[in-house]
């Protein structure tokens, strides 16, 4: 519950600050249709339906230089309420909830805009796994889960106050490993939207401040909890160090080492028990103070008989609160299956 409370506070902060001082404010409505990805053989039978959904949003954009420097781009923050029907009422039901959104503008002309909408939020699921009444739904086991999505979008402005959009959404819903089974659902969707602008001004032009050095070094600590198989939740402690180098305006490549002490694996008195050590390669999308990184890690050391996988991924979203200090959240996954969500703090040196 501590993690869920942190995410709620983070979303409220990111989407609620200084809403009255925006030069762009817009309301949106979207409709979508898509499919479910069967990312393992035991999901084939329940992945044949075609989900559909609707959503409504409010977004705002500040155009001051201070806000532009947050990602070296103009961007919308917002709140989005959504409803997705998985078109399989007896097993999968529907999902509804609210998400905080971040949408940077990638390219803009007089009438056209290309953007990348991303979001994270909470999802209430009407149908979840039950060993007696709903055993085949192994996508979800918790009524309250998390939604993450990314949606490249093209928008056309057909009047001063109205515009339309087309986007391709990639959505993921899971409980972040808080309860099993937790295969998690990945469902891409095609989406059409319409926007009504309540206020809209011309965008100023800003120049990006040059970076002193293309190299970045960081040390990061993270914490979460994990179910230990029926005895309750146990802490998971993580420590990583990494170096990466910028390759351009928004891309960087790096490498590092990730150390984890997982007390849900029933450690003995030996220091090495319930411990994993993994070198990793990383890619970073760096947008000003925002950093979205992806790791591919190899289990160099793992407890015998307790970790079945060879590789894992981490997806980390950080925000630099100061020049040398950042806070964020991370998601660990084995393939398409999410294991846990964590809270992390990073120090750049």
13-17, 214-218, 266-270: which range is least confident on average? 13-17
pLDDT at 11 over 70: no
**Does residue 219 share a domain with residue 195?**
no
Q: Using the 3D structure, point to which of 199, 229, 244 is the last residue of a domain.
A: 199
Q: What angle do CA 273, 222, 342 make, to 5 degrees?
A: 100
**Does residue 168 share a domain with residue 254?**
no
pLDDT of 224-255, one tens digit each? Answer: 988 776 667 788 999 999 999 988 778 899 99
DSSP element (H, E) containing 66 = helix 65-68
What 3-state DSSP class applies to 21? helix
pLDDT at 307 over 70: yes
Output the CA–CA distances (angstroms, integers) from residue 256 to 239, 243, 272, 280, 296, in the order listed: 11, 6, 20, 5, 10
Q: Is 9 inside any structural domain?
A: no
- What's the rounded Cα separation, in Å, for the pair 240 and 222? 9
**Does residue 100 share a domain with residue 248?**
no
pLDDT of 70-84, one tens digit each? Answer: 888 899 999 999 999
- What's the rounded Cα separation, in Å, for the pair 83 and 102? 19
Helix %, strand %, coil % of the chain (to 5): 10, 60, 35
- What's the rounded Cα separation, in Å, for the pair 76 and 155? 14
- What's the rounded Cα separation, in Å, for the pair 209 and 280? 30
Beta bridge partners of 319: 290, 327
Q: Using the 3D structure, point to which of 199, 223, 239 is the last residue of a domain.
A: 199
pLDDT of 133-147, one tens digit each? Answer: 999 998 888 899 989
pLDDT at 281 over 80: yes
pLDDT at 53 over 50: yes
- Looking at residue 153, what is its pLDDT? 96
**Does residue 315 share a domain with residue 195?**
no
Q: Is 4 inside any structural domain?
A: no
- Looking at residue 327, what is its pLDDT? 95
- Looking at residue 213, what is its pLDDT? 76
* Contact in structure between 146 and 317 (CB atoms under 8 Å): no
- Output 281 or 202, whichever has higher pLDDT: 281
pLDDT confidence of 323, banded at 50, 70, 90?
confident
Q: Is 13 inside any structural domain?
A: no
Count how many domains the chain has: 2
**Does residue 232 share a domain with residue 173?**
no
pLDDT confidence of 17, banded at 50, 70, 90?
very low
Q: Is 32 inside any structural domain?
A: yes
Domain range for 74 is 18-199
The CATH number for 328's domain is 2.40.128
Helix H, strand E, coil C: the string for 234-301 is EEEEEEEEEEEEECCCCEEEEEEEEEEEEHHHCCCCCCCCCEEEEEEEEEEEEECCEEEEEEEEECCE
Give the residue among 289, 301, 297, 288 at the shortest CA–CA distance from 315. Answer: 297
**Does residue 237 share a domain with residue 183?**
no
**Does residue 141 share a domain with residue 24?**
yes
**Does residue 233 share a domain with residue 171?**
no
Q: Using the 3D structure, point to which of 199, 230, 253 is the last residue of a domain.
A: 199
H-type alpha helices, 40-173: 65-68
Average pLDDT score over residue span 292-303: 93
**Does residue 148 share a domain with residue 229?**
no
pLDDT confidence of 110, banded at 50, 70, 90?
confident
**Does residue 285 share a domain with residue 221?**
yes
Output the CA–CA distances (angstroms, integers) from residue 117 to 13, 73, 317, in the order listed: 18, 13, 14
Tell how strand 215-227 and strand 162-174 pair up. unpaired
pLDDT confidence of 22, banded at 50, 70, 90?
low
Q: Is 227 inside any structural domain?
A: yes
**Does residue 286 share a domain with residue 325?**
yes
Per the confidence metrics, is the pTM higher than 0.95? no
Q: Is 152 inside any structural domain?
A: yes
Average pLDDT score over residue span 290-295: 92
What 3-state DSSP class applies to 81? strand
pLDDT confidence of 205, banded at 50, 70, 90?
confident
Q: What angle do CA 147, 151, 152 make, to 5 degrees?
A: 165
Q: Is 5 inside any structural domain?
A: no
Out of 93-97, 171-175, 259-263, give the one with best mean pLDDT: 93-97
**Does residue 137 share a domain with residue 253?**
no
Q: Is 34 inside any structural domain?
A: yes
The CATH number for 186's domain is 2.40.160.20
């Amino acid at each position: 519950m501590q993690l869920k409370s942190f995410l709620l506070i983070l979303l409220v902060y990111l989407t609620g600050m200084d809403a009255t001082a925006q030069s762009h404010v817009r309301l949106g409505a979207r409709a979508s249709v898509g499919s479910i990805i069967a990312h393992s053989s035991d999901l084939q039978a329940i992945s044949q339906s075609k989900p559909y959904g609707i959503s409504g949003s409010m977004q705002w954009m500040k155009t001051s230089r201070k806000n532009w420097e947050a990602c070296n781009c103009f961007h919308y923050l917002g709140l989005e309420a959504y409803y997705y029907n998985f078109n399989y009422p007896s097993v999968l039901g529907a999902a509804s909830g609210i998400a905080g959104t971040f949408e940077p503008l990638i390219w803009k002309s007089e009438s056209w805009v290309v953007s990348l909408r991303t979001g994270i939020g909470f999802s209430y699921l009407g149908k979840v796994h039950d060993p007696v009444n709903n055993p085949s739904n192994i996508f979800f086991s918790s009524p309250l889960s998390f939604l993450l999505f990314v949606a490249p979008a093209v928008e056309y402005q057909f009047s001063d106050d109205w515009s339309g959009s087309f986007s391709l959404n990639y959505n993921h819903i899971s409980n972040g490993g808080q309860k099993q089974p937790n295969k998690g659902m990945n469902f891409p969707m095609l989406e059409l939207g319409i926007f009504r602008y309540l206020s809209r001004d011309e965008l100023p032009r800003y120049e990006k401040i040059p970076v002193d050095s293309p190299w970045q070094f960081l040390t990061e600590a993270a914490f979460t909890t994990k179910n230990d198989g029926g005895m309750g939740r146990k802490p998971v402690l993580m420590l990583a160090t990494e170096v990466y180098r910028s390759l351009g305006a928004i891309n960087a490549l790096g490498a590092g080492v990730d150390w984890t002490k997982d007390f849900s694996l029933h450690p003995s008195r030996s220091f090495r028990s319930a411990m994993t050590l993994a070198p990793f390669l990383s890619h970073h999308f760096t947008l000003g103070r925002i950093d979205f990184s992806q790791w591919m890690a190899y289990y160099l050391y793992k407890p015998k008989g307790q970790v079945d996988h060879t590789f894992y991924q981490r997806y980390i979203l950080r925000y630099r609160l100061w020049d040398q200090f950042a806070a964020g959240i991370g998601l660990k996954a084995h393939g398409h299956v999410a294991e846990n969500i964590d809270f992390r703090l990073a120090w750049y040196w």
